Amino acid sequence: MSPITKEKTNWFFACKVEDVPANGGVCIKYKDEQIALFHFARRGEWFASQNLCPHRRQMALSRGMIGAQQGEPKVACPFHKKTFSLADGRCLSDEHECAIKVYPVKLEEDRIYIGVGGGKETSAVPA
Amino acid sequence: MKIVVIGNGMVGFKFCRKLVERKVPGLELIVFGEERLPAYDRVHLSSYFDGKSTADLLLAPKNWYADNGVRLHLGDPVHHISPGLQTVTAKSGITESYDILVFATGSSAFVPPMPGTDQKGVFVYRTLDDLDHMKTAARKARRAAVIGGGLLGLEAAKSCMDLGIADTTIVEYAPRLMPRQIDQNGSAILQKQLETLGLKIRTNAYTTSILGDGTATGIGFEDGSTIPADMIVISAGIRPRDELAASAGLETGSRGGIVVNDRMQTTHANIYAIGECALYQHIIYGLVAPGYEMADIAIDNILGGNRTFGGFDMSTKLKLVGVDVASFGDPFPPPDSCRVIVFEDQVAGVYKRINMTDDGQYLLGGILIGDASAYNMLLQKVKNKMKITGKPEDELLGARSTGEAAAGVLGLPPDAMICSCESVSKAAICQAVEDGHETFNAVKKCTGASTSCGGCAPMVKDLITYTLKSQGKYVRNVLCEHFGYSRQELYDLIKIRSLHSYDEVLDNIGHGDGCEVCKPAVSSILASLWGDMILAKGNDTAQDSNDRYLANIQKGGTYSVVPRIPGGEITPQKLMAIGRIAEKYNLYTKITGGQRIDMFGAHVGDLPLIWEELIAEGFESGHAYGKALRTVKSCVGSTWCRFGLHDSVSYAIRVEERYRGLRAPHKIKSAVSGCIRECAEAQSKDFGIIATEKGWNLYVCGNGGSKPQHALLLAADLDSETCIRYIDRFLMFYIKTADPLTRTATWLNKMEGGIDYLRNVVVKDSLGIAGELEREMQALVDSYKCEWREVVETPALRKRFTHFVNAPEEKDPSVQFEQLREQKKAVEWK
C-alpha cells in the first residue's frame, strides 16, 4: 500500500470510529455525494469508495459484505454480488465491469476523515 | 524477424497469441484486419443476440496488441502483395516489408448466384457488423427465412427468433438438416424438436430467387412455389478468401482455398496460410479447432521446427436452440462396411447412433441428438482407437452413472487429446494436477485446456478429481480460500469447539479476512447450531446483506417487508392493519406466491418503525430475507372444503410455527394439502404433506429452483406426531450435511443411495442418530425469537438502520419511484 500524499488531499470529517460496525460498512454523506466507508477491524484498516454500484447504478455498496481475495480487500455489492477491490477499485469478478472510485481514509484519535480531490486516491491506514 | 499476418479473426489472433508466448527475440509482428473490431469469438456469435456484448465476445482487450508489441491495423485490408519485393500494401497506403507472410484471411459467406440477393432485407451471417444490420432490420420484420439448414443456418434461425421474429422458416436444399453431420433419422428427430420450439422447416427446397422489388418480400423455389419473408439470411456455406493470394500468384484450388503443404506453407515457402482460407489435401476445414492446430504448426515451422499437419477430426458438439446435437468420427460410413446400433426415443426427442467395425471391436463414429452427454468419451474412444470392452450397446447408452464416466477418463491413453482447441493431452492435465494445480481454474490457467469452446470442461474436472484420488488425496469441496473445509466439516468443527461468532470461527479454524462466500455459510451454520439472534455477537456484518437488514434489498435500494402469515390464514383485522401500515409508509403491496403479503419500497430508516407497528398488531418476521423456512402453504382443508380429509390449515400453521425462521443451507418452503387434489401444491416443495384416508403422506426434496423437481414420497399414512418427528429428522439431517446454497432436491440428487438411503436414515434410523436429530431440532424450536422484535427493542441494533451514518435523519435522495396501476414501483435499471 502506498503512503498517502497529504499535501493535496482535502480531508473531511466523516464520522467517529464507534459509528462504523467492525468488519462492516456505512454510508457517508459528503455534500451531494455518497461515500461508502469500511472498517476492516481484523486487519486494522479503513477503506472508502463510491457508494454507487456501477453495474446497476444503485446506492448500495456500503451495505455490501466486505472480505479479501488473496489478501486484497474487497466489497461485494448486495445486489448481484459483483466484487470490487477496495485497494484500487477494479471489479474483481467481471473484467468488463467498470471500476469504482476509491478514497483515502485517515484516523485522528477516534475521528475518521476521508480524503477527496487531489492526491492519489487509494490508501489503507492502520487503526 | 518480421512477420506480417493478414487477417485478425480467431485463427489469426491465435497465431499472434501463440507466437507472442514464444518470446522470440527481435520479433516484429504486424497484423492487418479488415473489420473495425479486433478478433472476436465467432463461434459464439449468436450469443450477441442473447445478451452478450461486443466486449464479451472480444478474444482479448484492445490494448493486448500494444501491450505485447503487436502492431494492429484495423479496418485496413491488404490490397496488394509483392512476393518478389516481400512487401504488402494496405488500403490506407501503408506498405510493410516481411520476412514471413501469413494468410489468415478466413472465409466469407457464400451467396449462391441467383436473382434478388442484392435487395434490402437480405443478409449473410458472418460478422458482428452483419448482426448489427440484422438487429436494425428485425425491428420491422415479421417473417424471416434462413437459406441453408447447416450448422450456421440453424444458428442464424435461432438468432432470428432471439430477435423476436416468431415466424422463422429454415430452407434446406438437401433432404435433411445438417446434411454433413447427421443422418436422415437423426435429422427427423432434430426437426421435430426444433418445430416444437416454433421454427418452420422446409427440406428438399431448392431456392432459385429472392422475390421483391428492391426490398425482399419472399423466396421463390424451383417448383414454382414461394414463401413470404421480409428478412432473409443466406447461410449456404463459406467461400475461402483466396483472391489476394491468387492475385499474388499463389496456387489456389479450383473451388477456392490457398493450397498448403503439411507445414502450412503455400507455393511460396515464406508465405503460409492457416484456417478457413487454407486448402489442405483438397479439404477446407470450416471449424476453429483445426485452424488453431494449423496456427500452431505454422509457428513451429517458422521458428525452425518440424511439426506437420495430418488432417483433423471434424467432430462437433453444440447446443442448437436448446437441443444437443453432436457428430463424431465418421458419422455415416458406407453401410456394408460397418455395424450400426441405433437408439431412438421419439417422445423424448433423443436419437443416438454409433458405427462400429464389423467385428464390434472398435468405434468408427456416430451421431447424438437430444442427449450428447456421452460425446466426450465416445470421441476419445474413436480418436484413440480404443477397443470396446463389454457390450457395444453400453457405448451407445453412455455412462449411466458419473462414476463410470470418470473411470472412463482414467482409461484413456496419456496422449489422448482432451482439449482439441488448445491441444492439451490427458498427460498434460494430470501433470498439472500433480504439480499442485488442484482446481479447475488452476488447471485451466496452467494448461490452457477448456479456455476456448469449453466443451471438454467435464472431462477436465473428472481428470482432476481422479488424479487427486489416485494420489490418495482426499478430494474435498472446500468453502473458499479462507477455510480449508467443506460446509459439513465446518459444521462439525464449529459444534465440537463450541464457536459462537464468525470471528471466533475465523480465528480458530480459518485464516485471512473472510469473504462473501464463507461469511453467509458460517453464519447459517451458527444460526442452525445455536439459534442465537443472528445480529448478536458481532455476527451482523457476517450476514448476507438481506439477513443483516432483516429485509430483502430490492431495485432502487429500498427494502421489502413480509410478515409471517402461518398457513396463509389471516383475520380481517390483521388484513386491515397491513393495509393501514402500507398506506402510512407508502408501500407497494402484493400477495406473494406463498400466500403472504409483501410490502415494497421501504426506506432502510423506516424498517424498524414499520416492524414496530406490525409487531403491535401481532405480526412477526416472515424471514423472507433468510436462507430459512419461508412459508407453509395450505389449501382450505376439511373445515370448509367439501373434499377435505383433514384440517390442513391447522396442520400447516402448526408446521410453520414449529420451523419458522429455521436457518438452513438454502431457503425452504413447505405446503399441506387436505386431499389428493393437492390444491396447496405440496409435491413441489422442499417438504410437503398430503392428507390421506389414514393420515398424512410426507413428500420430500421437491422444488429444485431453476430446475423444477417433484418431491418424492418419504413415508405414507403417518399420524400427525410421527409426521412432525420425521420432518424434524429430515430437516436436521439436511441442515447438517448439505453444502452451502444447495437445495433439498440437489442434495438428494447427489446423495448416494438416493431416497432409499434417506428413508433408511429418517424412518428406519439406520445411522442411530434419529434421537439426536430430534433433540437438536427441539432446541432450535425452543430458542426461537422474532428477529424484528429484537431490533425494535435493542437501541444499539436499531441505530444501524440508517442510510447516512453522519446524517441519520435523511433518506437516500437517489431513491426514485414510478407509478404503475395506482401504486408505486421501482424505476427501471439504467
DSSP state of B663: B
What residues of B are in contact with residue A67 (Cβ under 8 Å)?
482, 513-516, 518-519
Q: Which residue has the higher pLDDT, B765 or B484?
A: B765
Q: Do B506 and A73 touch (CB under 8 A)?
A: no
Segment B529-539 mean pLDDT: 86
pLDDT tens-digit map of B153-174 = 998 998 898 888 989 999 999 9
Name the residue in chain B with its Cα closest to that of A67: B515
B548 to A63: CB separation less than 8 angstroms, yes or no: yes
CB-CB: which of A15, A56, A65 is closest to B544? A65
Residue A30 predicted with pLDDT over 60: yes
What average pLDDT does range B515-522 have in this prediction? 93
- Cell 433518506, residue located: B811
What was the pLDDT predicted at B455? 73
**What pLDDT, on the 0 to 100 scale, is given for residue B449?**
87
The CATH number of the domain covering residues in B122-236: 3.50.50.60
- pLDDT of B405 higher than 60: no
Contact at 8 Å (CB) between B539 and B526? yes
| The predicted structure's pLDDT at residue B408 | 65
What confidence category does residue B616 fall into, taking pLDDT thresholds of 50, 70 and 90?
A: very high
CA angle B197, B202, B208 (to 5 degrees): 140
B518, B546, B805 ranked by CB distance to A28: nearest: B805
What residue ranges do the domains of chain B occupy?
2-107+240-302, 122-236, 487-543, 627-793
The answer, as to whether pTM is greater than 0.80, is: no
Contacts of B545 in chain A (CB under 8 A): 63-65, 78
- State pLDDT tens for residues B599-611: 999 999 999 999 9
User: Would the CB atoms of A78 and B542 count as touching at under 8 Å?
Assistant: no
Report the alpha-carbon distance of residue B479 to residue B491 in Å, rounded. Answer: 12
Contact B514 A63 (CB under 8 A): no
Q: How many CB atoms lie within 10 A of CB B812?
A: 21
A27 and B804: CB-CB below 8 Å? yes
State whether B513 and A43 contact (CB < 8 Å).
yes
When the pLDDT of each residue in chain B is averaged and rounded to a whole number, the result is: 90
Q: How far apart are CA B774 and CA B193, in angstroms?
A: 49
Strands (DSSP E) along chain A, which ranges?
10-16, 25-30, 33-40, 45-50, 52-53, 58-59, 65-69, 72-76, 83-85, 102-103, 105-108, 111-116, 125-126
CA nearest to B799 within chain A = A19
pLDDT at B476: 67
> What grid cell was written down for B150?
447447416
pLDDT of residue B399: 43
- List pLDDT tens digits, range B246-265: 999 999 999 899 999 999 99
CB contact at 8 A, B606 and B585: yes
Which residue did the predictor score with more confidence, B239 or B707?
Answer: B239
Identity of the residue in B546, B548, B806 whose CB atom sits nearest the CB atom of A29 = B806
Residue A22 to residue B542, Cβ atoms within 8 A: no
Instruction: Determine, for residues B512 and A57 on separate chains, whether the beta-carbon distance falls below 8 Å.
Output: no
What is residue B766's DSSP assignment?
A: T
Contacts of A112 in chain B (CB under 8 A): none
- What chain A residue is nearest to B809 in terms of C-alpha separation? A29
Architecture of domain B2-107+240-302: 3-Layer(bba) Sandwich (3.50)
Res B358: pLDDT = 85
What is the three-class DSSP state of B375?
helix
Do B804 and A69 make contact, defined as CB atoms within 8 angstroms? no
Query: Residue B397: which pLDDT band, with cuts at 50, 70 and 90?
Result: low
Alpha-carbon gap, residue B280 to B185, rounded angstroms = 32
pLDDT in tens, B18-39: 999 999 999 999 999 999 999 9
ipTM score for this prediction: 0.87
Chain B positions touching A68 (Cβ under 8 A) are 482, 512-515
Length, in residues, of chain A: 127
Task: Report the percentage of chain A scoring pLDDT > 90.
Answer: 70
List residues bridging with B770 in a β-sheet: none
Q: Does B512 sit within 8 Å of A19, measured CB to CB?
A: no
- CA-to-CA distance for A82 and A91, rounded, in angstroms? 7
Cell of B260: 498448403
Q: In CATH terms, are B2-107+240-302 and B122-236 the same topology?
A: yes
pLDDT at A125 over 70: no
DSSP B199-247: -EEE-S--EEEEEESSBEEEEEETTS-EEE-SEEEE-S-EEE--HHHHH
How far does B452 lie from chain A, in Å, by closest CA? Answer: 17
Q: Do A21 and B540 lie within an 8 Å CB cutoff? A: yes
A110-124, B397-411, B652-666: least confident range: B397-411
What is the pLDDT at residue B475? 67
Q: Which cell numbers in the block locate residue B258? A: 490457398
DSSP notation for B239-279? EE--HHHHHTT--B-TTS-EEE-TTSB-SSTTEEE-GGGEE
Contacts with A114 from chain B: Cβ below 8 Å: none
Q: Where are the beta strands (DSSP E) in B693-829?
A: 695-700, 712-718, 817-820, 823-826
Using one digit for the tens of pLDDT, what is the confidence trace for A49-62?
A: 999 999 888 899 99
Question: What are the distances in angstroms from CA B137 to CA B109, B168, B169, B218, B539?
Answer: 19, 14, 17, 15, 55
Q: How large a percentage of chain B has pLDDT more than 90? A: 64
Give which of A58, A77, A85 to mutate to test B binding, by max B Cβ within 10 Å: A58
With beta carbons under 8 A apart, name residues in chain A contacting B518: 67
pLDDT category of residue A120 using cuts at 50, 70 and 90: very low
Which residue in B240, B275, B238, B264 sits closest to B254, CA to CA? B240
**Residue B698 clears pLDDT 80, i.e. is over it:** yes
Domain B627-793: top CATH class: alpha beta
Distance (Å, whole) CA B315 – CA B326:
7
Q: Is the pLDDT of residue B821 over 60?
A: yes
Segment B547-563 shows an average pLDDT of 94
Residue of A nearest to B541 (CA): A24
Q: Which residues of A touch B519 (CB under 8 A)?
A: 65, 67
CA of A120 to nearest chain B CA: how many angstroms apart?
A: 24
- What pLDDT shows up at residue B400? 42
Look at the block and give the residue holding cell 444437443. B324
- For chain A, percent of residues with pLDDT exceeding 70: 86
What lies within 8 Å, CB to CB, of B654 at 6+ separation is B720, B724
Mean pLDDT score, B719-741: 95
- Average pLDDT over all residues of chain A: 86
The half-sphere exposure of B263 on its side-chain side, counting CA atoms within 13 A, is: 16
Residues in chain A closer than 8 A to B501 (CB atoms)? none
Closest Cα in chain B, distance from residue A4 (Å): 23
User: In this structure, are strands B167-171 and B143-147 parallel, antiparallel, or unpaired?
Assistant: parallel
Confidence of residue A126 (pLDDT cuts 50, 70, 90): very low
CA distance A27 to chain B (A): 5
> Collapsing DSSP states into helix, strand and coil, what is residue B67?
helix
Residue A68: predicted pLDDT:
94
pLDDT at A122 over 90: no
What does the pLDDT average to over B799-811? Answer: 93
Burial class (CB in 10 A: 0-12, 13-18, 19+), B643: middle
Contacts of B52 in chain A (CB under 8 A): none
Instruction: Yes or no: say if A113 and A12 are a contact pair by the CB < 8 Å rule.
Output: yes
